[in-house]
A and B are shown apart, each in its own frame.
Chain A
Amino acid sequence: MTDAGFVIAAYGVILGGIALYAALLARRLGSARDESGRTDDSDSPR
């Protein structure tokens, strides 16, 4: 593999991984809020 290949692999996995984690987190948070009946960003207990 060339240097460019290693650079693409590094940036692809790291930036793609962060994006994937952020998307999964948003999905988990959305479904947890649906289940609990909360829709806002606040942290105050019900």
Chain B
Amino acid sequence: MKTRILGFVALAAVIGAAVNGLFVVPADLNQGDAQRIMYVHVASAWLAYASFGVTALAGLAYLIRRDMRLDALALAGAEVGVMFTAFAIWGGMMWGRPVWGVYWQWEDPRLTTTALLLALYVGYLLLRRLTDDPARRAARAAVVGLIAAVDIPIVHFSVIWWRGLHQGPTIGDPSKILNPSAPLQFVLALLAMLAAFTLVWVYLLIRRYQLARVEWQLEEDARRGRVAAARQVAVPSGVEEPAG
């Protein structure tokens, strides 16, 4: 019930932030209306980082504690993260064409490392389908999730470390927190969208986690059913199974 309320609050927040970004905040002097895409593009990118961070941390915690709930959280982070990464890429392409003149450029480090991030976590999700053994699947996925997370700081700092088409951070750079290189109205619109998207992100993460837990329970039920059926075949009827 609480999750459902969160869903409605998140929906209202996204509608409010979208109306603000599309109709209330003025268009940028140089980029025109295309700049409005930044609000959804940047928010999606930040939540992609957060999602994969959840996957990596939950995976690490799983390797230490071997708790299947942590594996469910890691899976939820990866699936939601893949979605937000794809949306960040899409938003960037829709902004890049009118502003840069191209949808995509493989020579750009930010774009290429983000594409790699998407491929790594799609691989993570595919890897999970390779085995039916929940413990083995969780351990393998945790290792891959941790290795893939190395790309998160590379994506983030790529615009500082290397020269490319993508501009540097507008407010993500610590030196620009009090002096962002965008008007305050734009920064507030971005933060409003980020807050709204974060509510949606929490809602989706909870729902995906719940689904993973129910699916795991169904898997366990099926496994127990198979074990019970195998025992019935192995032990002749009328013969009592030895204790232990």
Using a CB–CB cutoff of 8 Å, the interface residues on chain A facing chain B are 1, 3-4, 6-7, 9-11, 13-15, 17-18, 21-22, 25-26, 28-29, 32-33, 35-36, 38, 41, 43, 45-46
Contacts and interface: CB of A to CB of B under 8 A. Distances in A.
Contact of A35 (B32, B69, B86, B218): B218
Given A7-B36, A26-B207, 5 more contacts: A7-B34, A41-B3, A43-B69, A45-B217, A46-B217
B40 A10 contact: yes
Interface stretch (B55-63, B89-97, B150-158, B176-184): B89-97
A3 B210 CA distance: 40
Interface of B: 1-4, 7, 14, 18, 22, 32-34, 36-37, 40-41, 44, 69, 83, 86-87, 90-91, 94-95, 97-98, 200, 203-204, 207-211, 213-215, 217-218, 221
Considering the complex of A and B, which 10 residue pairs feature the smallest CB-CB distances, nearest first? Answer: A10-B94, A3-B33, A32-B214, A10-B37, A14-B87, A6-B94, A29-B211, A3-B34, A14-B40, A25-B207
B241 to A, nearest CB: 25
Given A10-B37, A36-B218, A28 B211 contact: yes
B64 to A, nearest CB: 20
Nearest to B4: A41
A32 B218 contact: yes
Contact of B204 (A21, A38, A43, A45): A21
29 contacts: A1-B97, A3-B34, A6-B37, A6-B94, A6-B95, A6-B97, A6-B98, A7-B37, A10-B40, A10-B95, A11-B36, A14-B90, A15-B18, A17-B83, A18-B83, A21-B83, A22-B203, A22-B204, A26-B207, A29-B210, A32-B215, A32-B218, A35-B218, A36-B221, A38-B217, A41-B210, A43-B69, A43-B213, A45-B217
A7 B203 CA distance: 25
Contact of A14 (B91, B204, B210): B91
Contacts of A21: 83, 204
Contacts of A22: 7, 200, 203-204, 207
B147 to A, nearest CB: 26
Nearest to A41: B3
A26 B207 CA distance: 7
